[in-house]
Amino acid sequence: MYRPLPDSLTINQSGINGLGLFAKEGIAQGKNLGITHLEMALLDNKQEIYRTPLGGFINHSNTPNGVKVELKTNGNDPSCVTKKWSLLTLRDIKKGEELTVRYTFYNV
């Protein structure tokens, strides 16, 4: 069954901006929470970045508790995905804490 978020996360009102990702339970440092963004090759040889549901609710912080990490992709993959990014925790996350990253794709 498809799940847009890991069981350990939920979406709630954020004190930072709009809605955000929050821990429903404690999450250990170094945990891979899933894919946040995909870069896809378009027919006109342009690249476009798409957010997954997980990536759509991560708010920016100058002192983040998570980081987007680029995953290796297979250069022979027939799909149009050229890059993938996953959300990793930089430290232990407490229950109820909002997950944040330092934005690198968007201006804040």
Residue 107 has pLDDT above 80, yes or no: no
pLDDT of residue 63: 95
Amino acid residing at 24:
K
DSSP, collapsed to helix, strand or coil, labels residue 57 as helix
Count of positions (residues) in the chain: 108
Amino acid residing at 90:
L
Nearest CA to 82 among 94, 68, 90, 72?
Answer: 72
Nearest CA to 52 among 15, 94, 9?
Answer: 9
pLDDT of residue 76: 62
pLDDT top residue among 79 and 22: 22
What domains can you pick out in the chain, each with its CATH number?
A: 9-101 (2.170.270.10)
Residue 4 has pLDDT above 70, yes or no: yes
Residues 6+ apart with CB under 8 A from 11: 5, 19, 20, 21, 22, 57
Write out pLDDT tens, residues 26-69. Answer: 999 999 999 999 888 877 778 888 899 899 999 999 999 999 99
pLDDT of residue 60: 93
